[in-house]
Amino acid sequence: MSAADAIRNQVMWDRLIAVVEEQAQALLRTAFSTIVREAGDLSAGVFDMEGRMLAQAVTGTPGHVNSMAESVKHFIDIFPVETMKEGDHYITNDPWRGTGHLNDFVVTTPAFHDGKMVGLFSCTSHLIDIGGIGFGPDGHDVFAEGLNIPFLKICDRGTMDANVMAMIRANTRLPVETEGDVYSLISCNEIGAKRLSEMMGEYALTTLEPLAEHIISASYKAAMERVAALPKGTTRYSMTIDGLDKPVDLVAALTVAEDGVHVDFDGTSGTAKKGINVPMAYTRAYTAFGLMAALAKGIPNNSGSLSVWHIEAPEGCILNAPRGLPVSSRHIIGQMLPDVMFGCLEPLIPDVVPAEGTSCLWNITLRGQAEGNTLGRHGFAVTITTNGGTGARPAADGLSATAFPSGVKGSPVEIMEQAAPVVIWKKELREGSGGSGKYRGGDGQVIEIENRFGQSMEVLAAFDRIDHPPRGRAGGGNGANGSVSLSDGTKLRGKGTQEIPAGKRLCLETPGGGGFGKAEAAE
Amino acid sequence: MSQVRLAIDIGGTFTDVVLDTGDGKVNTTKVLTTPKAPEDGALTGMMAVLDAGGLKPGDVDLILHGTTLATNALIERKGAKTALIATEGFRDVLAIGYEDRYDQYDIAIVKAPALIDKPLRFTVPERVAVDGSVLKPLDEAAVRALVPQIKAAGVEAVAVALIHAYAAPAHERRIGEILAEALPGVSVSLSSSVSPEAREFERTMTTSVNAYVQPLMAGYLKRYEDRLTAEGFHAPVLLMTSGGGLTTIETARQFPVRLVESGPAGGAILAAEVARACGEDKVLSFDMGGTTAKICLIDDGVPNTARVFEVDRQSRFTKGSGLPIRIPVIEMIEIGAGGGSIAKVDAMKRIAVGPHSAGSDPGPVAYARGGTEPTVTDADLTLGKLDPDDFAGGRITLDAAGAAAAVKRVVGDPIGLDAAMAAYGICEIVDENMANAARVHAVENGADVASRTLIAFGGAAPLHAGRLAQKLGIDKVIIPAHAGVGSAVGFLYAPVSFEVVRSAFVPIDTMDHEAVASMFAEMDALVRPVVTAAVAESEVTATRTAYLRYMGQGHEVPVVVPEDFDATSLREAFEAAYSALFGRTIAGAAIEAMSWSLALSAPARAERMTETATGDTTAKPRTLFVPEDEATAEVSAFPRAALTDGTSVAGPALVTEAATTTIVPSGYTAALNVDGHLILTRTTKAQEIAA
């Protein structure tokens, strides 16, 4: 490779990253789902003919990205690339081979240049309602959690499959929005494919493979260099969280080896009766995110950099839930996994890893009757994204009211009150909730919500760290526990659908992050 | 009768002054900004150009002014002691923000501290619902009870931002009245006046920023007016806004947040004027200085606008790390790519350029003022794009050997490139960064970048514009006259205008036409006095815009509201705009309006600017790295004046002038047009060059 070729490879790599960013922006701007459009719960990426992810958009959230990357391989196993035509689009929401629960639709699209297929684009976003019992952990199996769309071709050479669309519309409480979101996913892949073809025209490329090899091998090498700098050996960490009706132990052994980092979740608790179980794809996604963030800063996510992490969990444990189990709220436990990784890495890189944080989103999913709605029980369904505090870092306080590891934004109060008949009476920082220490954990929030029209409504609770707060590190104090209650003082459970009686407010206190270092050493 | 006008742009480092005597002649000067009393530097420059033009202060008919004072006060956190009054339960809107992290994979990020500290964030019992109805009346006694605390804290400005105040401003107005009475001398900003749009974080932030910079701007404007009077100026002063319009001093005092980023807006206005003069209806403007590059789309001579932008990014130029401000602005994408941007090699042996900049101190290695990290300027010099003995009009001698050594040491050695190839790599990456930013920006606006004309100005832009055009597939590049003081020249062509945006959720199919019309009438009553304070009523034209979306979506598409609007015409306009952006429409989906805007504007002056370059016309030989050959070649450097006789030069070549150098790449020719603008035209197809 000449020096000019090397520079050109880099330029094209940068271009691919720009293309997927465009793809993600298009999705963000056309989405109907409030959790996508206001909170950014989506992801987008470009893949080579073997289904290897070459670039992902910075916009989006990690649980989606790494699991979507795996999903594309399933798409091309089921629909061989030789059979794909320009204008085809494929869809699924399979939790085990998609991104972990039925609410996430994954759309994959072949990209063509000069009439020849050259790669694939894939994207995913979180839809507000996919039928079943709604977005919460109450289901006893995945069938109760809504419509399951197997791997299907939804658009054949530009013609939408009306049957599939009709089936989707008939199985959601929000048919217009859900259909609109399917179009939004398709459009964003189309935009990505168009840009890719333009780039290949400009550089007179007929195939992406040499560029793909370059991206993957350079990223792999860079990540392996980071791994090689770590001492070889095995470390362990265990973290207990609330779980459903009994606490869940998340146990991991991390081994630094010649071929990368191995993580084994052996010892982790078994599956739960309701929907907080985690499919392996989602476990891999958030575990890899924790490793990338702690060990591979500055190296882009792609199948090269991701291939140095070898992640296993025994089948039947809560982190490798067998097919058929309920998984709707798999994010609660999945988002705890970076904390477990940081615990394992503390002996190796004590100056890098933060204390434990709230980690799982405190998404407030509410539903009830809309004003004047006589059509059914559930006139509205809304998910309000909120957060607690993050863990303190070795050289800085934790972040208050901030999503980590999820990459989504909080929902604006004024927009949520437009989307649903609720009044959010309070949304303030929960002072002093961050753990004490040389550096303090981030503060959580205090939130109060009431039905605007004096009716009862339901909360589909999916909260954790109520009994088991985020722990401090290196002598730092624990963050404050979370709490869920009614305005009359009645305690609510952290998980499951519960009624907010008319005239009562739902009161939430989101957890604070753990502190770092001993408090008396504070500067 | 021609008007004598002065335009002054106070930037962070330099204050640019342009004197326009109306007879086609323009005098310009650059003086150092005097941060402690910016009016001193401005007056120095103003007197200098007047002297040079043989004029006196009393001869000036109009003064046009732009300043980064408000921006700098924000960045340096040197604004007023500011308090916030919010709805009970919402004390921490500024601290909670978006609840996100601007860099997903960096676990060490630190967010900017809230603009107003917790002890000065107060709340009062009151609550309005999304439809504007009152859920809880305002507790006026609680407002009065805050007065002693606000006084005791020595607060100079108060921001009032209540939930849903854009829909029902009565509570905010009442608080404003109570404070005006109880706290004379304290300036008060109401969110329902400053930024009446939904989304509490942005509205609260915008109102807080307005309050924060208000005392400072009011003080500055007063001193400036006094100095002008003392020096014998009688001319009215108009201020440049970030929306690209001119407004009165009174409005600037009331809404100083509208002045943030007015300098770059001036640059876009210049590009728009050049676009009109050259008959270019689709333009990409490209402004590249020492630290950043700014890119703006200009359609039919009008720069694109937006309603929100970020200032003071915590992590330089990382989207999401700054303070969001929701006001009408000229929409620009700004990236950390300038002459001073520092190059290095990252973990994957990739060349990374910027966003960190060597600035002017120590500056690039070539300045020999202590800089050790190679910059884009060092790469440009290594490639022969700059003449070490004739930089900045010969005022600075550049250290070519030092620059090349730093380029090789930091970038070349780790990846096995010699100095020239490493320098070429640095330029390729910075040019690609800018090209990608332009592409993403264009796509977000549904525009095709390749069919556009590039208008490039700012010290570093002409060095990179040719390559950028090649990368974007652009056929024509214009380097305007007076490009070095582009923003100030732009002020001369800015219209007097003002725009307000108001949120009002309206389903289009069941729209109450009367209600919408009366809302526009209210907005008109608010804006018209602002504009007619500066221009005659008869010159004013109105543009009404609806921000529409499919019901359930979160992002709106702007659509011009026709005189006789109805549900059908709005639907048709929306579907056309949506389809242009996203390639399809959604059958059967309802459409709703989220916000509405009214802009009143009076046209800027019509005379076009011309320039005849003068001076030495002798071409000099220069050794330039030619990317297509991956080798250096002997080429000619033509002074801009050498082209005044109609000479056309073919690339690879250079065109030099005091403030900058234009690279004419292979496949392009360069010539001056009738107005003295330098035009680069492509003669070879892009693919042949890239291949």
Whether the pLDDT of residue A206 is over 50: the answer is yes
Cα–Cα distance, A123 to A105 (Å, whole number) = 8
Cα–Cα distance, B582 to B599 (Å, whole number) = 27
Whether the pLDDT of residue A274 is over 80: the answer is yes
Q: Are B477 and B454 in contact (CB under 8 A)?
A: yes
Report, in angstroms and rounded to the nearest whole number, the Rg of chain A calculated over CA atoms: 23
In DSSP terms, A248 is beta-bridged to A241
Q: Are A71 and A92 in contact (CB under 8 A)?
A: yes
Q: Which of A95-104, B489-498, B645-654 has the lowest mean pLDDT?
A: B489-498
Q: Is A180 in contact with B553 (Cβ distance < 8 A)?
A: yes
Tokens of B362: 């120590």
Sheet containing strand A233-241, strands side by side? A233-241, A248-257, A260-264, A309-312
Backbone angles phi, psi at B483, to 5 degrees: -60, -25
Amino acid letter at B264?
P
**CB within 8 A of A188, min separation 6: which ones?**
A23, A24, A26, A27, A30, A44, A121, A123
Tokens of A239: 């973290």
Count CB neighbours of A2 within 10 A. Answer: 9
**CB within 8 A of B543, min separation 6: which ones?**
B560, B598, B599, B600, B601
Distance between alpha carbon B266 and the CA centroid of its chain, in Å? 8
Would strands B453-457 and B282-288 be described as parallel, antiparallel, or unpaired? parallel
Nearest to B584 among A187, A195, A298 (CB): A187
Residues of chain B found within 8 Å of residue A31, distances taken between Cβ atoms: 553-554
- pLDDT top residue among A357 and B500: A357
Average pLDDT over residues B410-423: 94
Whether the pLDDT of residue B687 is over 50: the answer is no
Q: Is A386 in contact with B99 (Cβ distance < 8 A)?
A: yes
In DSSP terms, B185 is beta-bridged to none
Q: What pLDDT band is residue A67 in, cutting at 50, 70 and 90? A: confident
Rounded to the nearest 10 degrees, how much is the dihedral formed by the CA atoms of A259, A265, A267, A271? -150
Q: Chain B contact for A13, CB < 8 A?
A: yes
Cα–Cα distance, B170 to B74 (Å, whole number) = 29
Closest CA to B482 of B7, B41, B26, B83: B26
Q: Is B687 in contact with A202 (Cβ distance < 8 A)?
A: yes
Whether the pLDDT of residue B318 is over 90: the answer is no
Please tell me the predicted confidence (pLDDT) of residue A198: 87
Tokens of A445: 């929030």
| pLDDT tens by residue, A137-183 | 899 999 999 999 999 999 999 999 999 999 999 999 888 889 989 99
Whether the pLDDT of residue A373 is over 90: the answer is no
Tokens of B179: 């404070």
Q: In whole numbers, what is the pLDDT of chain B averaged over residues? A: 88
| pLDDT tens by residue, B446-460 | 677 888 999 999 878
Q: Is B582 in contact with A58 (Cβ distance < 8 A)?
A: no
**CB within 8 A of A483, min separation 6: which ones?**
A466, A491, A507, A508, A509
Instruction: Give the gap in angstroms from C-alpha B217 to the nearest C-alpha of chain A.
Output: 31
- pLDDT top residue among B73 and B84: B84
**CB within 8 A of A520, min separation 6: which ones?**
none
Size of interface A-B (CB pairs under 8 A): 222
Q: Where are the domains of chain A?
A: 3-219, 354-523
Residues of chain B found within 8 Å of residue A393, distances taken between Cβ atoms: 107-108
**Which of the listed ranges A33-42, B40-49, B69-78 does the model predict with the highest average pLDDT?**
B40-49
Cα–Cα distance, A384 to A415 (Å, whole number) = 10
Cα–Cα distance, A192 to B583 (Å, whole number) = 13
Cα–Cα distance, B472 to B229 (Å, whole number) = 50
**CATH number among 2.60.40, 3.40.50, 3.30.200, 3.30.70, domain B75-218:** 3.40.50
Q: Chain B contact for A10, CB < 8 A?
A: yes
Residues of chain B found within 8 Å of residue A408, distances taken between Cβ atoms: 100
Q: In whole numbers, what is the pLDDT of chain A averaged over residues? A: 92
Instruction: Give the gap in angstroms from C-alpha B474 to the nearest C-alpha of chain A.
Output: 12
Cα–Cα distance, B125 to A212 (Å, whole number) = 59
**CB within 8 A of B51, min separation 6: which ones?**
none
Q: Chain A contact for B90, CB < 8 A?
A: yes
Q: How far apart are the first and last CA of chain B?
A: 56
Cα–Cα distance, B314 to B328 (Å, whole number) = 23
Q: Where are the domains of chain B?
A: 1-60, 75-218, 261-495+604-691, 496-602
Q: Chain A contact for B163, CB < 8 A?
A: yes
Whether the pLDDT of residue B2 is over 70: the answer is no
Backbone angles phi, psi at A210, to 5 degrees: -60, -40
Residues of chain B found within 8 Å of residue A383, distances taken between Cβ atoms: none
| Cα–Cα distance list, A145 to A103, A464, B178, B279 (Å) | 9, 20, 54, 60
**CB within 8 A of A247, min separation 6: which ones?**
A240, A241, A269, A467, A468
Q: Which chain B residue's Cα is nearest to A392?
A: B108
**Number of separate helices (H) and strands (E) present in chain A:** 11, 19
Q: Are B280 and B453 in contact (CB under 8 A)?
A: yes
Whether the pLDDT of residue B316 is over 70: the answer is no
Q: Which of A338-342, A424-428, B576-580 has the lowest mean pLDDT?
A: B576-580
Q: Are A496 and A452 in contact (CB under 8 A)?
A: no
Angle between helices B419-444 and B400-407 (to 10 degrees): 70
Q: Chain A contact for B134, CB < 8 A?
A: no
Instruction: Give the gap in angstroms from C-alpha A413 to the nearest C-alpha of chain B.
Output: 7
Cα–Cα distance, B258 to B274 (Å, whole number) = 25
**CB within 8 A of B15, min separation 6: which ones?**
B8, B9, B30, B31, B32, B33, B34, B38, B41, B42, B44, B45
Would strands B591-602 and B541-550 be described as parallel, antiparallel, or unpaired? antiparallel
Chain length of chain B: 691
In DSSP terms, B353 is beta-bridged to B343
C-alpha triplet A490, A491, A493: angle, nearest 5°: 140
- pLDDT top residue among B538 and A106: A106
Would strands B187-190 and B157-161 be described as parallel, antiparallel, or unpaired? parallel
Cα–Cα distance, A44 to A36 (Å, whole number) = 12
Q: Are B611 and B674 in contact (CB under 8 A)?
A: no
Tokens of B208: 């807080």
Q: Is A25 in contact with B444 (Cβ distance < 8 A)?
A: yes
Residues of chain A found within 8 Å of residue B102, distances taken between Cβ atoms: none
Q: What pLDDT band is residue B1 in, cutting at 50, 70 and 90? A: very low
Q: Are B630 and A3 in contact (CB under 8 A)?
A: yes
Whether the pLDDT of residue A380 is over 60: the answer is yes
| pLDDT tens by residue, A301-323 | 899 999 999 999 999 999 999 99
Cα–Cα distance, A493 to A463 (Å, whole number) = 9
Q: What pLDDT band is residue B33 in, cutting at 50, 70 and 90? A: confident
Q: Where are the beta strands (DSSP E) in A127-247?
A: 152-156, 159-160, 233-241
In DSSP terms, B293 is beta-bridged to B288, B335
Average pLDDT over residues B305-324: 74
| Residues 304-343, chain A, touching B (beta carbon < 8 A) | none
Q: Is A29 in contact with B589 (Cβ distance < 8 A)?
A: no
Q: Is A165 helix (H, G, I), strand (E, B) or coil?
A: helix
In DSSP terms, B302 is beta-bridged to B299
**CB within 8 A of A228, min separation 6: which ones?**
none
Q: Are B56 and B48 in contact (CB under 8 A)?
A: no
Q: Which of A99-103, A283-287, A436-440, B586-590 has the lowest mean pLDDT?
A: B586-590
- pLDDT top residue among B187 and A199: B187
Please tell me the predicted confidence (pLDDT) of residue B563: 84
% helix, strand, coil for chain A, step of 5: 30, 25, 45
Q: Is A413 in contact with B200 (Cβ distance < 8 A)?
A: yes
Rounded to the nearest 10 degrees, how much is the dihedral formed by the CA atoms of A93, A95, A99, A100? 140
Cα–Cα distance, A479 to A435 (Å, whole number) = 4
* ipTM reported for the complex, 2 dp: 0.90
Would strands A42-47 and B305-306 be described as parallel, antiparallel, or unpaired? unpaired
Chain length of chain A: 523
C-alpha triplet B254, B256, B260: angle, nearest 5°: 160
C-alpha triplet B552, B558, B564: angle, nearest 5°: 105
Amino acid letter at B380?
D
Please tell me the predicted confidence (pLDDT) of residue B577: 87
Whether the pLDDT of residue A375 is over 50: the answer is no
Mutate to test the interface with A, among B105, B109, B199, B595 (most CBs of A within 10 A): B105
Cα–Cα distance, A16 to B605 (Å, whole number) = 44
Q: Chain B contact for A109, CB < 8 A?
A: no
Q: How far apart are the first and last CA of chain A?
A: 53
Residues of chain A found within 8 Å of residue B440, distances taken between Cβ atoms: 18, 21-22, 25
Q: Is A29 in contact with B350 (Cβ distance < 8 A)?
A: no
Whole-prediction pTM value? 0.88
Tokens of B384: 């022969």
